Chains A and B, each alone.
Chain A
Amino acid sequence: METDELTAAPVADRRPAVRHGPLRPSELAEAAVLGDLALVMEVIGWFAPVGVAGIFQALAVIPFAVLAARHRLRAALVSAVAASTVAALVGGIGIMVPVAIASGLGLSVGIAFRRRWSSLAGVGFTILIVGLPLAALTDALDAASAGYRKLSFDQIKILWKLVADVLGGIGLNSLKRDGNELLNWAITHWWVSLPIGEVAIIALVAVGCTRLRAFLVEVRRHVPMPVADEAVERRRHRGTGAGAQPEAPPQPVPVRLEHVSYRYPRADTDALHDVSLTLRPGQFLAVVGPNGCGKSTLVRVLAGRLEPRTGRVERPGPAGLGLVGGTAIVFQRPESQVLGVRVRDDIVWGLPAGERPDITALLQRVGLEGFEERETSTMSGGELQRLAIAAALARSPRLLVSDEATAMVDRPGREGVVSLLRALASSGIAVIHVTHRVEEAALADEVLDMSSAVEAANAPVAPSSFGLALSPKPTPRFRVIPSLPRAEPFPRPAAPARPATARRGEPLVTLEGVGYVYAEGTPWAHRALEGIDLVLWRGEGVVLTGPNGSGKSTLAWLLAGLTMPTEGTALLEGEPIAGQPGRVGISFQHARLQLLRPTVMADVRLGADEDRARRAMLAVGLDPDVMGARRVDDLSGGEQRRVALAGMLVRRPDLIVLDEPYAGLDDEARTSLARTLEQLRRLSGVAVVVVTHDLDNAEVLGDRLIHLDNGRITSEDTLLGQP
């Protein structure tokens, strides 16, 4: 399943599962994130050129509509109020009012959709809950403040006078007279004219918003409702302690699984097939296996979030996920599991009011001394994972589960996390570390190898992030295309693919004295790159590596022409790279952001004909007949990266830059991707720059290995022809 498996949750009903009571985790999370999305659109609209600004501001309606269509009113209202508040903090009334109006419009559209009202009723509802209150508010404000009234009318008068002068100038004097009279009437009767005008505008907007319904149908069809967290009993730590605690204290270990299998609703095969294991306190168990073998499902069973369909789970008490003395999980994506703005706040996030952990000691234990006041948004992936472990330890868990916590972290970070897990096990906690890297199992007491489970179940089945259970994946997922010359197993072919002669003539890319400073001149300025000199040749393969925060990604953006260096020059055949879009392709770690069309073929075809699109898909190992019609949201992270790669190839770029192409991929998928890149370079002469902290198979990826540290090139090695 690759990266998406971790976010997988069972798909079920599309109606809001909850009808009353406080917000559940999924509701709170969507309320916050979708409110933010609307706010971001408003902010972009603010900074965008005038014509485009209005579009973005109108788009801010959509997140609220989606939220109200998916969840109950309580979530939508909380989101509207919270987003308006944050908007006021970001930019005052000028941005709060549009966000508030957008939230009202979105809410009314979403509610009308969820309750299956007719379009007409929906428009009426919008007028009722947005138009009338807005009109009343304006009237109240105008009544309270004659100054405000005068100010707004003067603006209107000024504009009208300009129009009237034009009308008079071209001889439409009667129109000018009528207009004058109408305006004068409207101004003297402002308490009628203003509300009528506003309600009319809102009615027009509401009619426009009915077009959103088709969009909401698409969302309902393709984005499943979160239900995983609703399956768990509700536990809250009310400050008053009003008996909301579960009766039995958590006792997650020792735990014994006997022939446990699990199948997600609407899936054809088991996600977890016949697993047996025992885990005692102080034991360190590593669970290894490729993507899609059911590792994440196993984690959910152990955490008590899923009840197995067959087999038995024995433990002395409840798993107590997130409770003191219960089960704690550390997930794969570092930045998504940190919930506090400051390190200190994150550790105590969600702790019962009485608990006051020794934050300094916890941070010391995970190797983050002195991080108490750091803002979490400034920390690296490895640091964030340590922080997540510290937050888990604040609950003194008896069972600690790392659900691929090392998958997105660089090598030193990974080693640190694994040895930390080892130390925690030695101190008496039962620890499970799920990983697809066999070498990380070395420190474990026991290893559960789940690769055979794949063969047994014969298919990866855990539904991936969106809608997979609705459209099960065909297997095999990457068909090897017979017509392409199959690359030899590693290492690379004996004859160098790119003879030394290719270096004669003009270099492809020249970087001279390139430096980059983010937010230069502000208090938040920070230097990412300094004095980079680099030359790339046609058909060359270069691996750029370095620790988190070394400036790798910034360099990737510069090479792709997405940002201009703040110092020095970045040229592609003598011209600035930024001025030549299309000649350099870039693939981001989260490839979904660069897929612009809903289906694979439609996306690859952007700016090319179908024939070329098919060839590009074949070149990256995707069968156009199988994959072409698939929705990009249904693909795994690795598949999405391949689609993005095909989308670049149709434009025949001279250079392809890949940012962390391996993140979250298992060995098989990595090998296959490396082989694809190697073939591309050999067959089409495109230069490839791979930015990665993961140096396995580096020799297949390129001829040169460049180390970055602290924004500078520290060393350069030749990979080709080494003994």
Chain B
Amino acid sequence: MSDFHVLRYVPGSSVIHRMWAGTKLVWFALVSIGLLLWPTWRAVGVGALMVLGGFLAARLPRGVAPRLPRWIWLLFLVAFAIAVGASGKPYVHLGHLRIGFGGLDQFALFWSIAIEVLALAFLVSWTTPLADLAPALGRLGWPLRKLRLPVDEVVGAVALSIRCLPLLLEEGRVLSAARRARRSSAKTSAREMAQGIEDLIWAALSNALRRAREIAEAIEARGGVPTIAPETHPFELRDGVLVALTLAGMTAMALLRA
């Protein structure tokens, strides 16, 4: 589990790195929504152009690519087989075997969209210092603040969540290692397994609440829950260009859906 590289920043000085975090969040959100609303191959193509362009511009080292667990490929294979087995035209004949590729099309489209959205989320988190994410969200939330919603509180909780996530992941790593170290060689019944899961939850919860208590003390030692200072990162030409490109992409997705 040490290989969970969620929300980790890769230092750099590319155009994407220097952009305001809020711009990248808008980019991410709009492309995701576009793909959800108009899931066609053309939209995927438009999205792929933007994601690939982003990756090229960000100049990330090749090593960032996550290594997938082996069973994912197995799952992929099974899903692939189902899709092929159950699909219709067009058919390809291999000797006596007739393989239909009609369902494969939908299968591939579904997965392409999922992977594209994931890649964009990774791109944003790899190129944005984590500390910049929450304040940018706060600035983007101005319409909600006008509605007197507690935007600052949510932003404060997001910032604290991002800070605590590595601590909890590390505890999760220790917890699973401890279980492995004590796993019994004897076969376990379903009942014992359920018991084991409940115990696991208790350990995790008890630790998390204790951690929360320490953090609450630390917050208090700093004078209580603060209001987040408004951030003032400039919105520059490159930000404008990306927003314009994103809007153009959205329009293209909508127009090409037919």
Chain A interface residues toward B at CB < 8 A: 6-7, 9, 22-26, 28-37, 39-40, 43-44, 47, 49-50, 55, 59, 62-63, 66, 74, 78-79, 81-83, 85-86, 88-94, 141, 144-145, 147-148, 151, 154-155, 158-159, 161-162, 165, 215, 219, 223, 226, 228-229, 232, 234-239, 303, 305, 321-323, 328-329, 331, 333, 335-342, 344-345, 348-351, 353, 375-377, 391-392, 395, 465-466, 518-519, 521-525, 557, 560-563, 581-582, 584-586, 588, 590, 592-598, 606-607, 633, 647, 651
Contact = CB atoms under 8 A, between A and B. Distances in A.
Interface stretch (B89-97, B128-136, B244-252): B128-136
B109 to A, nearest CB: 7
Interface in B24-60: 28, 32, 36-40, 43, 60
B70 to A, nearest CB: 10
A522 B158 CA distance: 26
Contact of A159 (B69, B86, B181): B86
A94 B114 contact: yes
Contact of B75 (A9, A50, A147, A353): A50
Contacts of A521: 63
Contacts of B10: 523-524
A523 B121 contact: no
Contacts of A49: 71
5 contacts: A28-B225, A145-B37, A161-B87, A588-B178, A592-B207
B233 interface: no
Given A33-B208, A162-B82, A586 B181 contact: yes
Contact of A341 (B69, B131, B213, B225): B131
A590 B207 contact: yes
Contacts of A518: 2
A40 B214 CA distance: 20
Interface in B133-166: 133, 137, 150, 153-154, 156-166
Contacts of A82: 154, 157-158, 161
Contacts of B150: 22, 74, 78
A141 B1 contact: no
A329 B214 CA distance: 12
B224 A322 contact: yes
A83 to B, nearest CB: 7
Count chain B CB atoms within 10 A of each CB in A145, A395, A560, A592 and give the residue with the most. A592
Contacts of A235: 223-224
A321 B216 CA distance: 13
B187 interface: no
Given A29-B212, A395-B223, A597-B199, A93 B32 contact: yes
Contacts of B199: 596-598
A341 B130 contact: yes
Contacts of B161: 32-33, 35-36, 39, 82-83, 86
Count chain A CB atoms within 10 A of each CB in B171, B197, B225 and give the residue with the most. B225
Contacts of B234: none
B241 to A, nearest CB: 23
Contacts of B177: 557, 562, 586
A148 B75 contact: no
B118 interface: yes
Contacts of B64: 522-523
Contacts of A525: 63
Given A35-B157, A85-B154, A90-B121, A236 B40 contact: no
Given A30-B212, A466-B210, A321 B165 contact: no
A549 to B, nearest CB: 15
B98 interface: no
Contacts of B200: 596
Interface residues of B, number: 113
A229 B181 contact: no
Contact of B182 (A81, A338, A594): A594
Contacts of A43: 4, 6, 169
A63 B208 contact: yes
Contacts of B124: 89
Interface in B164-186: 164-169, 171-172, 174-175, 177-186
A593 B181 CA distance: 12
A586 B178 CA distance: 8
B7 interface: yes
A33 B157 contact: no
A226 B179 CA distance: 29
B180 A7 contact: no
Q: Which 3 A-B pairs have the closest CB atoms?
A: A322-B223, A594-B178, A336-B214
Given A26-B216, A47-B4, A598-B199, 10 more contacts: A44-B1, A47-B1, A74-B150, A82-B158, A145-B36, A154-B103, A331-B214, A350-B226, A593-B178, A633-B206
A563 B6 CA distance: 20
Count chain A CB atoms within 10 A of each CB in B6, B171, B180 and give the residue with the most. B6
Contact of B227 (A353, A377, A594): A353
Contacts of A7: 210, 213-214, 217
Given A238-B227, A375-B130, A607-B184, A158 B39 contact: no
A339 B222 contact: yes
A339 B38 contact: no
Contacts of A89: 7, 121, 124-125, 133, 162
B137 A85 contact: yes
B120 interface: yes
Contacts of B237: none
Contact of A339 (B3, B32, B154, B219): B219
Nearest to A153: B106
B235 interface: no
Nearest to B87: A158
A378 to B, nearest CB: 10
Contacts of B15: none
Nearest to B158: A82
B216 A25 contact: yes
Contacts of B205: 37, 62-63, 66, 219
Nearest to A328: B221
A427 to B, nearest CB: 21
Contact of B213 (A151, A226, A349): A226
B44 to A, nearest CB: 11
Contacts of B207: 590, 592-593
B146 to A, nearest CB: 16
Given A86-B158, A89-B125, A91-B118, A593 B203 contact: yes
